[in-house]
Amino acid sequence: MIKAILWDMDGTLAESESLHLKTLIAALARHGVEAGEEMHPLVFGKTGREVHALCRERFGLTVDFADWSMFRARTYLENAAALVPRPGALEVYRAAKAAGITQAIVSNASRMLLEANLRALGIEEPSLVSISVNDVRNGKPSPEPYERAAWLLRLTPEEVIAVEDSPTGARAAIAAHMRVLAWPFDDEGAALFPREAQVVRSPRELAEALGLDPAAL
């Protein structure tokens, strides 16, 4: 029996991938590198440190991670209030809450950015368990973020289900021996998920897969 839903944040609950890309493009421009949308598939699902390492290698940057991440965080926070939820995501989240299902957030973002997202979506509350990349030694695709969330909830992997928009996140939850619902943005994205993940293509399908009544959305 499913006792908890573990939600990814960026791209799953929040339409924040474009803002993350904006901060990356701005950070690169600050160091004389012109980049655009082509960066998205290269960094999708990666941690901040992984993106920094990729850019250092790809563009020969010498900026250290502290300066790089501070600039990106500041740019993100300046725009975070305008974030909107992914269409249908909060309706499913609220339906699960109304049904009495425990929910938690498992993100590869920093604690600062994760909390900004929670505030922007209006779902920040003291009792909500949330895992950021700062709370673990290894971010996704390591299973550690999902394992820590389950431990804090005092639940076994069999008692939770993860909802992810990225193959990286899905692999993390699968490695933690959890059932995964993959909610990609298109068919091309769906093809990239591990076969163990169950693909859903709409909020209605997501609700049904979670055992919720779609009429409640």
pLDDT (tens digit per residue) in 98-142: 999 999 999 999 999 999 999 999 999 999 999 999 999 999 999
In angstroms, rounded to a whole number, what is the distance separating the alpha carbons of residues 84 and 73? 18
- 3-state SS class at 161: strand
- 3-state SS class at 160: strand
State the DSSP string of 23-57: HHHHHHHHTT----GGGHHHHTT--HHHHHHHHHH
Please write down the HEC assignment for all residues of 74-100: HHHHHHHHHCCECCCHHHHHHHHHHCC
In angstroms, rounded to a whole number, what is the distance separating the alpha carbons of residues 179 and 6? 10
**For position 92, what pLDDT does the model report?**
98
In angstroms, rounded to a whole number, what is the distance separating the alpha carbons of residues 134 and 101? 26
> Does residue 1 have a pLDDT over 80?
no
**Residue 190 CB contacts under 8 Å (≥ 6 apart), including other chains:** 182, 184, 199, 201
**For position 41, what pLDDT does the model report?**
87
**CB neighbours (10 Å) of residue 130?**
21
pTM over 0.85: yes
**For position 119, what pLDDT does the model report?**
96
Mean pLDDT of 141-150: 98
Domains of the chain: 4-15+84-216 (3.40.50.1000), 17-82 (1.10.150)
